[in-house]
Amino acid sequence: MVVLAALVAASLTWMSAPYGRHARPRWGPLVPTRLAWIGMEMPALALFAAVILGGSQRSQTAVQLLAGAWLLHYAHRTLIYPLRIPASAKGYPLLIAAIGFIFNAYNAWLNAEQLAEYGQYGEAWLADGRLWLGLAVMTIGMVINVRADNVLLHLRGPGETGYRIPSGALHDQVASPNYFGEVLEWSGWALATWSLAGVAFALFTLANLGPRAVAHLRWYRQNFPDYPRERKALIPYVF
Ligand code: NDP
């Protein structure tokens, strides 16, 4: 996954993933956006839960705590977030949804196996500051991510598909505060699990969403002459 992250970062730097505002016609058939999100995120919820339940360390409290944090994120991403996208949304490329499904299955398996089979999360880990600091960073990241997505999902009136300049919930600082929150979440996960699987996922998230945040910022500047110049792409005041 670390190698994949490097390849993804390199590819997405010269070509943005073709969905949402960066959609392009030659990427094949579209499927309903809500269905695409539920389908491609489902392995991260269902497969992860199944692997944890079958894991030899499933009764460890720290394993349950960490699995709970993961499942909270993915219950929201798989079952709540998609239903908040308007049913009238313009559609999502089947190919991108299929790639998302495969990635989520691989990532869920990797992180769940690490957590419930190979990791060392006995009683001592419950007293380790890395667990609690990591969970705190994850929580802050999730709050930033959900608040930023909330703002975006309220920008359009019924049936509208155009774009406006967002404000509030860190949108005044960066073009993609939802991605900033997501990167924080999985950096927190890497710290709380202290695992190569966690680090790999955090790196992949940065590799995937960093270039997309840059593309979003460029797109806003090209399409809105009054887009505030001081806004950065991903990390407030920094990048
Ligand atoms: P975007 O910010 O591109 O879009 C989110 C939603 O808001 C879409 O429905 C989009 O519509 C709408 N929207 C965005 N900007 C505007 C605007 N200026 N005016 C009106 N509507 C707007 O996010 P993504 O779709 O890429 O991602 C959604 C969520 O999934 C995020 O929370 C992200 O962090 C997460 N994610 C996580 C990944 C990971 O690697 N862990 C990978 C990808 C996403 P439209 O679709 O029409 O543009």
pLDDT in tens, 65-87: 999 999 999 999 999 999 999 99
* pLDDT tens-digit series, residues 133-162: 999 999 999 999 999 999 999 999 998 999
**CB-ligand 1 contact for 149 (6 Å cutoff):** yes
Share the mean pLDDT of the chain: 97
Q: pTM value?
A: 0.98
Report pLDDT for 43.
98
Report pLDDT for 65.
98
Report pLDDT for 131.
98
**CB-ligand 1 contact for 132 (6 Å cutoff):** no
Distance CA 92, CA 213 (A): 19
**CB-ligand 1 contact for 62 (6 Å cutoff):** no
Split at pLDDT 50, 70, 90, the class of 39 is very high
What is the rounded average pLDDT of the residues 37-52?
Answer: 98
In terms of C-beta density within 10 A (0-12 exposed, 13-18 middle, 19 or more buried), how is residue 78 classed?
Answer: buried
Q: What share of the chain is helix, strand, coil (3-state, %, to 5)?
A: 70, 5, 30
Residue 31, H or E segment: strand 30-31
Report pLDDT for 13.
94
**CB-ligand 1 contact for 163 (6 Å cutoff):** yes
Provide the angle, in degrees to the nearest 10, between the axes of the packed helices 33-54 and 94-113.
20
What is the rounded average pLDDT of the residues 192-202?
Answer: 98
Report pLDDT for 152.
98
CB 135 within 8 A of CB 73: no
What is the rounded average pLDDT of the residues 112-130?
Answer: 97
Report pLDDT for 139.
98
Report pLDDT for 167.
98
Ligand 1 atom 7 nearest Cα: 152
Tally of CA atoms within 13 A in the half-sphere of 174 that contains its CB: 23
**CB-ligand 1 contact for 22 (6 Å cutoff):** no
Ligand 1 atom 25 nearest Cα: 20
